[in-house]
Structure 1
């Protein structure tokens, strides 16, 4: 029997978490000798450029205007639906990344093509859109892959076959223990330039720490330099904070830092997994994360770091002081963070996906 080709669909090809994870899924399919095609936006420097055998483009535009963005999105899905009809007599499987590309799922249903969904997110606005997307998944999907147990519980599709496959690190785990070269203690945060990611809380924490000369703060934002400049133009940034725009390689930032923060607001944005948390841990960084969602599956309190709400600036400050001034505690947290990442290795991820692909090939 000839193996089914896999057609992967993702809206926006950028350097964020969900296309990164999809690129790892595609590489695993390639390693399993499965023919692959990816349909995504034409942005050139995203994680999905050049990973599959065939690269197809879909129309996708965004705008500052929310209504216009929604309009563009609906048009893109109509065009995607039409684009997917060309697979009519072909032996393929549709693999839809995130809840958003519903056009492909509807085409799959019409053509009786198996549709697999890889769900990364739970926060989709407006709520009516979220309900519609869930309805499409319920009606079209063969199986749903979730990135965390938290997300599977939050989004549970009771009538469908579902599985949790945690995201994985794509890099080998670093040397066991980090030797600090310079005095000072740097807390790093990497996030999108969105208020709900805790950008203002990060500045408040830095401001609270200004009396402690050894504490420094580095913020790396998934945004261009001009977006960063305009966002902070009227904001008073404390002197102990360095802010950087989007980076193509983060490894230098991880190795120059001592602690990784995730300050997503627990009521505004619940992290469903937190790949940057895992990346930081693989460089031996202890982490402070919100006490809800996916990060709470990665981090155990006082083992790999701490679970503290971003609204609790005083508790965050005390935790940073404690870690930065106690070398023995730091060494223990750092070692634990590193060993924890072995549970999320690429080998574990690839073997779970190989099993899924094998099952998919026998799915009629």
Structure 2
């Protein structure tokens, strides 16, 4: 049986662990033995019922204090670096590194001569120096790199053994979405899913709710209620009557099924979306989207067809477009219908198949390398 050793830093309900869960589930169903090393809780723990999965867990969470965050991160890198040597004498294993962050086990894997596959979700080159260092390390350590969009791959200096595999949604997620353009238009409900990080523009979303009291706004934050309360207090925010803010959710399907329009307001000057999973989720629910003008997420939208591309700096323009979309039933129906059609291009089976192929090829290369080593 082939064995995949997978490392993922923070197991929550954000995009990268959701995609990883789909990939691992595909591998598990094909009979691979998967050893998963990640934090406690989150979507990856939904795989624990598989008999051919073994999980090694640790406690980890982010802090608002950057010094504390880097200390916790460094501690986990040392721990997973040392833990990786558990597989020193295992042959024909592949180290599957999800996101840039697990650099410790990637380094350990290289030292042991294991085959290293990175699943690269970020765009380090529009982030800070720390991520750029991690991206440089990835290009040195990885035998294979999986990117989520052509936009993301274009920033890599390395071009060899780089495969673009767009993200997709799990079938059990898609099957529970109920696209109803006529009813959605009548609801006049605007949804955004994101974090409290300022480059995700939660403050601008709150401002839109204040500007447009005739519409209902919902903000789903990938954080605890305690941190949301602290954020509100720090920024002296008074929540208006047409805005509801929710903490981290295990299941976001009900939010899409009750929305009319979905926004992604990531500030392209500080952060660029490499793919845009929430936009795909929205379009799969038959909902138009408004997204930034750059990044992998911008590749998913054609202005006036399935949504609009507008930067958060143009809040007045976003305001006017929202008014137009939610007041013109013909326009709304066109956008919603095209959004649903576009989402069908992103097939979960194809995504899992491509990722499995990369890992299987890596496993084969590892076997061949071991055979050559044994014949010398």
1:45 paired with 2:47, answer: no
Q: In structure 1, what is the Cα distance between the partners aligned to 2:249 and 2:351? A: 25
**Higher RCO (C-alpha 8 Å, min separation 6):** 2
Normalising by structure 2, we get a TM-score of 0.89
1:134 paired with 2:135, answer: yes
Pairing partner for 2:244 from 242, 245, 257: 242
Can you list the C-alpha shifts for 1:297-325, whole angstroms capped at 9, x where unaligned? 11111111000111111111111111111
Question: Is the partner of 2:146 in helix, strand or coil?
Answer: strand
Pairing partner for 1:255 from 250, 254, 257: 257
Structure 2 unmatched ranges of 5 or more: 367-376
Question: Relative to total residues, which structure has the larger helix share, 1 or 2?
Answer: 2
TM-fit CA distance, 1:61 = 5.0
Compute the RMSD of aligned alpha carbons.
2.1
Residue in 2 that maps onto 1:22: 20
Residue in 1 that maps onto 2:181: 178
Q: In structure 1, what is the Cα distance between the partners aligned to 2:125 and 2:13? A: 20
TM-fit CA distance, 1:29 = 1.0
Q: In structure 1, what is the Cα distance between the partners aligned to 2:106 and 2:122? A: 17
TM-fit CA distance, 1:360 = 2.0
TM-fit CA distance, 1:184 = 4.6
Question: Is the partner of 2:345 in helix, strand or coil?
Answer: helix
Pairing partner for 2:11 from 10, 13, 19: 13
Structure 2 matches for 1:93-104, cutoff 5 A?
Answer: 93-104=94-105
Cα gap change, 1:254 to 1:176, in 2 (>3 Å): closer
Can you list the C-alpha shifts for 1:250-284, whole angstroms capped at 9, x where unaligned? 12211111000011111111111111111111111
Q: Is the 8 A contact 1:11 1:40 kept in 2?
A: yes
Question: Is the partner of 1:362 in helix, strand or coil?
Answer: helix
Residue in 2 that maps onto 1:216: 216
Can you list the C-alpha shifts for 1:80-130, whole angstroms capped at 9, x where unaligned? 111111111102100001111111111111111000001111248984433
TM-fit CA distance, 1:351 = 2.2
Structure 1 unmatched ranges of 5 or more: none
TM-fit CA distance, 1:287 = 0.4
Residue in 2 that maps onto 1:340: 342
Residue in 2 that maps onto 1:187: 190
Can you list the C-alpha shifts for 1:107-157, whole angstroms capped at 9, x where unaligned? 111111000001111248984433432332232211000111111112x14
Question: Is the partner of 2:105 in helix, strand or coil?
Answer: helix
Question: Is the partner of 1:247 in helix, strand or coil?
Answer: coil
Residue in 2 that maps onto 1:84: 84
Q: Is the 8 A contact 1:59 1:79 kept in 2?
A: no
Question: Is the partner of 1:137 in helix, strand or coil?
Answer: helix
Q: In structure 2, what is the Cα distance between the partners aligned to 1:181 and 1:359? A: 45
Q: In structure 2, what is the Cα distance between the partners aligned to 1:242 and 1:141? A: 43
Q: Is the 8 A contact 1:177 1:331 kept in 2?
A: no
Cα gap change, 1:81 to 1:208, in 2 (>3 Å): same
Moved more, 176-185 or 254-263: 176-185
Residue in 2 that maps onto 1:74: 74
TM-fit CA distance, 1:161 = 1.1
1:148 paired with 2:149, answer: yes
Structure 2 matches for 1:109-128, cutoff 5 A?
Answer: 109-123=110-124, 127-128=128-129
Normalising by structure 1, we get a TM-score of 0.92
TM-fit CA distance, 1:159 = 5.5
Pairing partner for 1:330 from 313, 316, 332: 332
Pairing partner for 2:314 from 312, 315, 318: 312
Q: In structure 1, what is the Cα distance between the partners aligned to 2:134 and 2:167? A: 22
